């Protein structure tokens, strides 16, 4: 797909540097390459030395999108493994059941939502009765975790009455040990976390829900929000170019040095300056000897041509 590419100074750059990119905000098609000239004007207040020119190259599609990692059961068919206690005693005294390697072959299969009566017109898909603890596991495979790099996930849960929620054996959030209880709604919790809970490959999403009375309910959804450019494996690039600031102009002595009388006509040549192709011009200085007195170096002027003639005055050599 076509993209509009823009270049801009990085946040770490000095705000008073004048940095220009030519061209900028240009269109690139697939496999196209564009040369860009970067020009920098550095204010005189900066001392000579090493500096870093840093700039970002961004795609016009550098905004985020949201996709579901786990669908809500109220609008989709989502398979979970589950088991519930026969009373108000927990089935497990540890969290091994929240890990990927836990053997859940003896658990039941069901689809979210789990419940024993409808919730505001939403029917349950798996019947769950009794005032007890219920344990839920769902496996989701992520072939390439880099798709979500730079993003976050929102874990949305609808529970009646209390719930604790885990990813890959790690407790993420919950209220079983300290909550006030609540009826189910979409959603009781909308919890945002970074993606570092997830692994490339298989991941287990686990929840324990406890309801000592009234209706039962459990449904869950996980939304992933990430840069859209991850879909085609593009990321904003930051480039760093080292700069050595040297404000001392190079100098060159004449090939033949000596004193000349004012009646002389002669040609003076000077040694070329290394890498002189990038020199825009030069200054010429002269020195006057009057008898035994030698004067200071005096500036004739600034030139950008290859030759210049000048004449001595008043008999001074």
**Over the stretch 172-192, which tens digit does the pLDDT of each residue have?**
999 888 767 788 999 999 999
**Tokens 């290859």, located at residue:** 306
* Range 65-231 has CATH code 2.40.50.100: no
More confident residue, 250 or 159: 159
Structure token digits, residue 301 = 């002027």
Confidence of residue 131 (pLDDT cuts 50, 70, 90): confident
Bond from prior residue into 209 cis (ω within 30 degrees of 0):
no
Q: Which of 88-97, 164-173, 188-197, 299-308 has the lowest mean pLDDT?
A: 299-308
pLDDT at residue 285 above 90? no
Q: Assess whether pLDDT exceeds 90 at residue 208.
A: yes
Domain boundaries along the sequence of the chain: 3-60, 65-231, 249-317
Q: What is the pTM of this model?
A: 0.64
């Amino acid at each position: 797909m076509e993209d509009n590419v823009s270049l801009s100074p990085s946040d770490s750059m000095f705000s008073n540097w004048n940095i220009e990119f030519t061209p900028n905000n240009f269109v690139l098609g697939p496999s196209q390459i564009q040369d860009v000239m970067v020009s920098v004007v550095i204010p005189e207040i900066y001392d000579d030395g090493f500096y870093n020119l840093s700039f970002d190259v961004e795609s016009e599609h550098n905004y985020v999108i949201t996709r579901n990692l786990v669908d809500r059961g109220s609008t989709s068919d989502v398979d979970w493994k589950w088991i519930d206690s026969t009373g108000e005693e927990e089935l497990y005294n540890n969290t091994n059941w929240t890990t990927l390697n836990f053997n859940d072959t003896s658990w039941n299969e069901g689809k979210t939502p789990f419940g024993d009566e409808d919730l505001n017109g939403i029917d349950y898909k798996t019947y769950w009765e009794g005032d007890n603890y219920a344990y839920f596991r769902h496996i989701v495979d992520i072939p390439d975790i880099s798709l979500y790099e730079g993003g976050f996930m929102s874990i949305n849960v609808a529970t009646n009455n209390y719930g604790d929620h885990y990813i890959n054996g790690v407790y993420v959030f919950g209220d079983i040990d300290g909550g006030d209880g609540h009826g189910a709604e979409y959603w009781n919790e909308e919890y945002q976390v970074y993606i570092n809970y997830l692994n490339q490959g298989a991941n287990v999403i686990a929840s324990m829900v406890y309801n000592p009375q009234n209706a039962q309910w459990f449904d869950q959804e996980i939304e992933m929000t990430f840069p859209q450019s991850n879909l085609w494996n593009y990321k904003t690039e930051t480039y760093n170019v080292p700069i050595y600031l040297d404000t001392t102009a190079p100098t060159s002595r004449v090939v033949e040095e000596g004193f000349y009388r004012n009646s002389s006509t002669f040609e003076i040549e000077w040694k070329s300056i290394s890498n002189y192709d990038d020199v825009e011009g030069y200054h010429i200085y002269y020195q006057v000897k009057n008898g035994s007195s030698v004067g200071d170096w005096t500036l004739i002027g600034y030139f950008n041509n290859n030759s210049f003639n000048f004449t001595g005055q008043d008999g001074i050599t």
